[in-house]
Amino acid sequence: MNKTLIIAEKPSVALDISRALGGFTREGDYFESEDYVLASSIGHLLSLIAPNDPKRGKWSFTHLPVIPRNLN
């Protein structure tokens, strides 16, 4: 059975979404329904970088898509 993953900004938003959509049961740190798994993050998943960032230099559309290097 395939389910769709929903990632909420924070746990309180996940709770609000689960209540709004209905049909979810809490499974520890996440919620699950027949069609969805609803999880939340803590902290930022992405960060924005200014186009003229001194470390990265200027960019243009020829540089897209931007794929981050492995930080491990």
Return the pLDDT at 45.
Answer: 72
Which stretches does DSSP call E strand in the chain? 4-8, 25-27, 30-32, 36-40
Return the pLDDT at 18.
Answer: 96
pLDDT at 56 over 90: no
Residue that wins the pLDDT comparison between 27 and 69? 27
Return the pLDDT at 6.
Answer: 95
Reported as a single tens digit per residue, the pLDDT across 5-32 is 999 989 999 999 999 999 999 999 999 9
Residue that wins the pLDDT comparison between 3 and 45? 3
